[in-house]
Amino acid sequence: MMEATDQQPLPTPLQEGIREQNMALNTKRHGEWMVEEHHLFLQGLEQYGNRRYGDIATLVKSRTPDQIRCHAQKHWQKLTKEKHNIKTVVQKQKKMVKTVVQKKKQKNENGVTTVTPPAVGEMFYI
């Protein structure tokens, strides 16, 4: 007669493969975000608003709310940096225009200041 043991029988290779597939379906991704995930993230931001990471996670099923929160922080930092960079570029262009205009200013014999238009092919920013 066999004694009852508390140990479960070892899974067969087929059962182990099915278990691994089920785990893969239920696990969340980590690392770099795919384009599709980012689009779903943006859709979630539009639909639910900022700081609704749990709700956004219902759209981005492959990420946890904490991962979505971290991605949102990086997203806003990137937008802020880009906005700052655009502002800096515009300021530099305005400064270049001012410099070009100052170089083109001339006083004629009557003392009137005129501005010479840029030559053909010369860079002139507006």
Can you tell me whether residue 114 is helix, strand or coil? strand
Q: Find, among 70, 72, 65, 63, the residue nearest to 45 by Cα.
A: 72
pLDDT value for 63? 92
Is the model's pLDDT at 93 over the cut of 90? Answer: no
Name the phi and psi angles at 125, rounded to 5.
-95, 140
User: What rounded mean pLDDT belongs to the chain?
Assistant: 75
pLDDT value for 91? 80
| 115 bridge partner residues | 105
| Banded model confidence at residue 71, pLDDT cuts 50, 70, 90 | very high
Name the phi and psi angles at 109, rounded to 5.
-65, -20
